[in-house]
Amino acid sequence: MTEQEAEYAGDLFGVDPTPGIVAVERAGDRGIRIYHRTHDGVREQLVEFTPWLVVDAETVPNLPRQMSTTLLDGDGRLRVRCDAPNWAAWLDVYRWLREAGRPFATFTSAADQYLVDSGRGLFRGISFDTVVRAQIDIETLGLDPTVEGARILLVTAAINGESAIVFRGDELSEPDMIRALTAWLQSNDPDVIEGHNIFNFDLPYLIERARRYHLELEWGRDGSPVRVGGEQRFKAGARSIPYNAARIYGRHLVDTYQQIQRYDTAGQLSSYALKPAIRALGLARHDRTYVAGIDITAAWDHDRERLIHYAIDDVLDVNVLSELALPTEFYQTRILPRGLQSVATGGPGEKINDLMLRAYLSRGYSIPTPGPPRGYPGGYTELRRTGRFSPVVKCDIESLYPSIMLVDDIRPASDELGMFVPMLGVLTKRRLQAKRREQQSTGHDRAQWRGIQTSFKVLINSFYGYLGYSRGYFNDYDAAERVTLRGQDLIQNIVVQLESNGSRAIEVDTDGVFFEPPADVRTLASEEALVARVSETLPTGINLAHDGRFLGMLSLRLKNYALLGYDGTVTLKGSGLRSRREERFLGQFLHDEVARHLAPDQFGDPRQAYLDLAERIIDGRLGVDDVSRIETITDQTFISPATRRLAEAVHGERIGERVAVYERADGSLARASGFDDDANSSYLLRRLRDFAERFRPLYATDQEFHYTFPIVTQRTDLATLRAARPTSQLTLFDLTN
């Protein structure tokens, strides 16, 4: 690493590399308690701390409390650092600034303020597989802890997915189970406590049941109870989901229900509930015990050991999801001046804000205020052709926006110290190094390097988004626009180069192109050579990579396509081809009967499969999984007239949950768990025909489309329909581009 790289690495990671810190908490009005994990357990260290804010010069004379002030260098508007004599004084000033609408910069957590000032970070020198994580799960009578008859049946817990322990309601009273769990946590002293939907179910249930016995969940490292906050929102991609915030002194709470949603960036999972997610990810153990939610009470009464095995498996599955999804956030925590829980629930813009704020304050420099938001162009997207194509290649520009910012030196105008791009460069270099180490490693080492390189990748990709982050101190919408316009030019030039080499572009989307290669390009090596030739036309530092090859592609409309891999794998993209809100039989029909016709040697007519499926609907031969769809419960579910039927079916469900429902013969909606072979076949036949409408653009005439996908009702004579012959030569699924 060069001297300059080392300098910016200090700005990026903090100047103090002290290892082994697992938690930092405020201690009184002027202290910070630091928890260090050593070979002998966890030791405490108490240090003095001065809380701070940064304000503009005009605000200082009006502050309601006496503060020690320091004038910072530079031209940022927030150029006066104010140090409070104690936390109470800081809190008074903080509240006054908010009520007065004055601009300021700070962290609301004393621990985060300390980490910024000290340049320290959590979990440095500790790998994910060695941090002490506790998984907990409860089985209960009912979902509402306040109703008559509600109680905890089982409490299950484990450390890092091992040595699960069960506290049983037939051996201990409910208050004794709560006391036993608390004693177990204090004895094992975990750094992290995990559960699936722990914020919205396990903790509220435990807290309410404990309250009834005049108990508290004294889980803090200092013996303090769990602190319950107000409702907050967790962001996973474009989704914003409410949850009941809670804190434990000296420990970090992690909800794998949230983390698996962040992990599922491609939106492949139809449900984020524990068991469906584990199954969909291919992580279910072959001997896993299952008990349906509605059968919990019956299992407790008549098959208690089976329920206990089920509860243990739940805890083990929480650990499986944590090992899969949490390392990215864990290794980011080693970089950022925040605790793991804040990193795991915070948005990407906040993280870059943290880095820039720490870097500027460590150099005694003033902070700008956020620029007013405005719109700006996004990535370039274009559907060049529709129809069926074979073969197909995907190429994309590696890390398009970060590469543009590095190559063209695009940074916020307010970045006086010029730290934004160099820090991005250090992260990019570190990520490539970690990626190489991942490829060269095996086992736990490989998993560790994968977590590290993924954490770098997420931060790298956040730099561009930060430019357009409305609350970013260093945001710059002009710079964001320069990045996107440059990206548009690059990707359009790639299309020109591909077509000049005899390829046919199918779809262009921001940083990638699907294309049909020329006839003489049919091997992986020749495809890579073609992509390499096009890459040579790009500026130094901008690289085009081969990103996939497919036997066939069905392109319907922009961002709606099906891909058939050489191994027979079918991938569906876009709401026109896949949706969690559609009944499963529709997706299965597309996956099994339509997409398979993409291969040249399997080119054919899906008419027969369509009629076969219609017959199964009429005969009532579809199961509950086939006819149900997934609905996400939102704030509007229970107040909008348009969702009245759904609200009746999911009464009592929590916001953010996903529930499987189906339409009954009488037109009402019901939970799939109560299926009684009463699905509305007329509705399902309409759904099948509506689904087929998506393929109309692929047919040369309406006549050809109607022959392939005729309207079928319960009164249709299917035998006559099957015997019908087309009146003209069909061009089914032929190229229409």
**Scanning the structure block, which residue is given the tokens 């206990």?**
308
Nearest to 355 by CA among 238, 454, 472: 472
Which pLDDT tens digit goes with each residue over 531-544?
Answer: 999 999 999 999 99
CATH number, domain containing residue 185? 3.30.420.10
Q: Which residues pair with 572 in a beta bridge?
A: 562
Which pLDDT tens digit goes with each residue over 658-691?
Answer: 788 999 999 999 998 888 899 999 999 999 999 8
Minimum mean pLDDT range among 227-231, 293-297, 452-456: 293-297
CA distances from 606 to 374, 544, 692 (A): 48, 37, 10
Residues 133, 113 share a domain: no
Of 291, 326, 361, the residue that ends a domain is 326
Structural domain includes residue 561? no
Nearest to 365 by CA among 81, 106, 105, 72: 72
- Convert 693-729 to b/e letters by CB count within 10 Å (16 or more is b): ebbeebbeeeebbebbbbebeeebeeeeeeeeeeeee
Residues 160, 306 share a domain: yes
pLDDT of residue 646 exceeding 80, the answer is yes
Residues 205, 320 share a domain: yes
Strands 52-55 and 80-83 turn out to be: antiparallel
The number of domains in the chain is 4
All residues at 6 or more sequence positions from 192 whose CB lies less than 8 Å from its CB, including other chains: 131, 132, 133, 134, 251, 252, 253, 254, 340
How many C-beta atoms surround the C-beta of residue 302 within 10 A?
10
Which pLDDT tens digit goes with each residue over 234-274?
Answer: 888 777 788 999 999 999 999 999 999 988 876 777 778 89
Structural domain includes residue 456? no
Q: What is the mean pLDDT of residues 446-450?
A: 87
Structural domain includes residue 356? no
pLDDT of residue 733: 45
Q: For residue 396, how many C-alpha atoms fall within 13 Å in the half-sphere facing its CB? A: 15
Across 353-367, 434-448, 589-603, the highest mean pLDDT is recorded for 353-367
**Looking at per-residue confidence, does 225 or 584 come out higher?**
225
Minimum mean pLDDT range among 132-141, 383-392, 511-520: 383-392
Structural domain includes residue 50? yes
pLDDT of residue 319 exceeding 60, the answer is yes
Structural domain includes residue 429? no
Domain range spanning residue 674?
577-723
All residues at 6 or more sequence positions from 626 whose CB lies less than 8 Å from its CB, including other chains: 583, 584, 585, 588
Q: Band of the pLDDT at 576, cuts 50, 70, 90?
A: low
Which pLDDT tens digit goes with each residue over 321-362?
Answer: 999 999 999 999 999 999 999 999 988 889 999 999 999 999
Which pLDDT tens digit goes with each residue over 369-421?
Answer: 999 999 999 999 999 998 889 999 999 999 999 999 999 999 999 999 999 99
Provide the mean pLDDT of the chain. 90
pLDDT of residue 599 exceeding 70, the answer is no
Residues 533, 600 share a domain: no
Q: Are 128 and 448 in contact (CB under 8 A)?
A: yes
Residues 302, 165 share a domain: yes
Structural domain includes residue 736? no
Structural domain includes residue 341? no
Q: For residue 598, how many C-alpha atoms fall within 13 Å in the half-sphere facing its CB? A: 31
Strands, E assignment, 409-493: none
Residues 107, 73 share a domain: yes
Helix, strand, coil tally for the chain in percent (to 5): 40, 20, 35
pLDDT of residue 536: 96
CATH number, domain containing residue 502? 3.90.1600.10
pLDDT of residue 572: 78
Residues 155, 106 share a domain: no
Residues 603, 490 share a domain: no
CATH number, domain containing residue 663? 1.10.132.60
Minimum mean pLDDT range among 54-63, 424-433, 583-592, 602-611: 602-611
Of 296, 326, 356, the residue that ends a domain is 326
Q: What is the mean pLDDT of residues 722-730?
A: 72
Backbone angles phi, psi at 130, to 5 degrees: -110, -10
pLDDT of residue 732: 44
**Looking at per-residue confidence, does 307 or 700 come out higher?**
307
Residues 504, 644 share a domain: no
- Can you read off the two tokens belonging to residue 484? 């996107």
| In the chain, % of residues over pLDDT 90 | 69
- How many residues are there in the chain? 737
| In the chain, % of residues over pLDDT 70 | 94
Residues 135, 112 share a domain: no
DSSP 8-state symbol, 653: P
How many degrees, rounded to 5, is the angle at CA 323 between CA 322 and CA 329?
Answer: 70
Nearest to 282 by CA among 301, 294, 269, 295: 269
pLDDT of residue 735: 39
CA 397 to chain centre: 23
- Can you read off the two tokens belonging to residue 673? 């768990």
How many degrees, rounded to 5, is the angle at CA 308 between CA 654 and CA 202?
Answer: 25
Structural domain includes residue 195? yes
Record the pTM: 0.84
Residues 641, 621 share a domain: yes
Residues 133, 94 share a domain: no
Amino acid letter for position 676:
D
Which pLDDT tens digit goes with each residue over 161-202?
Answer: 998 999 999 999 999 999 999 999 999 999 999 999 999 999
Cis-peptide, bond into residue 348, ω within 30° of zero: no
